[in-house]
Amino acid sequence: MNDTKPSAPIAAAVALFTIRERLEFLRLEGGQGRIPSAPLEEGETLEACARRALWEAASIEDVFLEQLYTFDGGRGHPRAIVAYYALAPHDRLRIGRTGVGWVDPTLAPTLVEEHQIIVGRACERLAGKLEYAPIAYQFLAERFTLGELQTVYEIIGRQTLDKRNFRRRIRASWDLVETRDARRGGPHRPARLYRLRDARPPWEE
Which one, 17 or 194, has the nearer CB to DNA?
Answer: 194
Q: Which partner in a copy of itself, DNA, none is near 189 (CB below 5 to 8 A by kind)?
A: DNA
Three-state SS at 150: helix
* 31 belongs to the binding site for DNA (CB under 7 A): no
Q: Which amino acid is at 123?
A: C
How many Å apart are CA 13 and CA 70, to the nearest integer?
A: 10
* 106 belongs to the binding site for a copy of itself (CB under 8 A): no
Backbone φ and ψ for 157, nearest 5 degrees, come out as -80, -10
Backbone φ and ψ for 204, nearest 5 degrees, come out as -90, 105
Contact window for a copy of itself (CB under 8 A) among 62-70, 110-118, 136-144, 174-182: 62-70
Q: Which partner in a copy of itself, DNA, none is near 72 (CB below 5 to 8 A by kind)?
A: a copy of itself
Give the H or E element holding residue 200.
none
Contact window for DNA (CB under 7 A) among 22-30, 36-44, 58-66, 159-167: 159-167
Residue from the set 2, 32, 59, 70 that interacts with a copy of itself by CB under 8 A: 70
Angle, CA 134 vertex, CA 133 and CA 136 arms, to 5°: 115
Q: Which amino acid is at 47?
A: E
Three-state SS at 48: helix
CA-based end-to-end distance of the chain:
42
Q: Which partner in DNA, a copy of itself, none is near 46 (CB below 5 to 8 A by kind)?
A: a copy of itself
* 69 belongs to the binding site for a copy of itself (CB under 8 A): yes
* 7 belongs to the binding site for DNA (CB under 7 A): no
How many Å apart are CA 108 and CA 29, to the nearest integer?
A: 15
Contact window for DNA (CB under 7 A) among 30-38, 58-66, 78-86, 144-152: 144-152
Residues whose CB falls within 8 Å of the CB of residue 97, separated by 6 or more in sequence, listed in order: 57, 58, 59
Closest CA to 39 of 5, 71, 66, 63: 5
* 191 belongs to the binding site for DNA (CB under 7 A): yes
* 197 belongs to the binding site for a copy of itself (CB under 8 A): no
For the CB of residue 86, give the shortest distance to a copy of itself in the complex, in Å: 16
Residues engaged in binding DNA (CB under 7 A): 145-147, 162-165, 167-169, 172, 182, 184, 186-192
Residues engaged in binding a copy of itself (CB under 8 A): 8-10, 40, 45-46, 67, 69-72, 79-80, 82
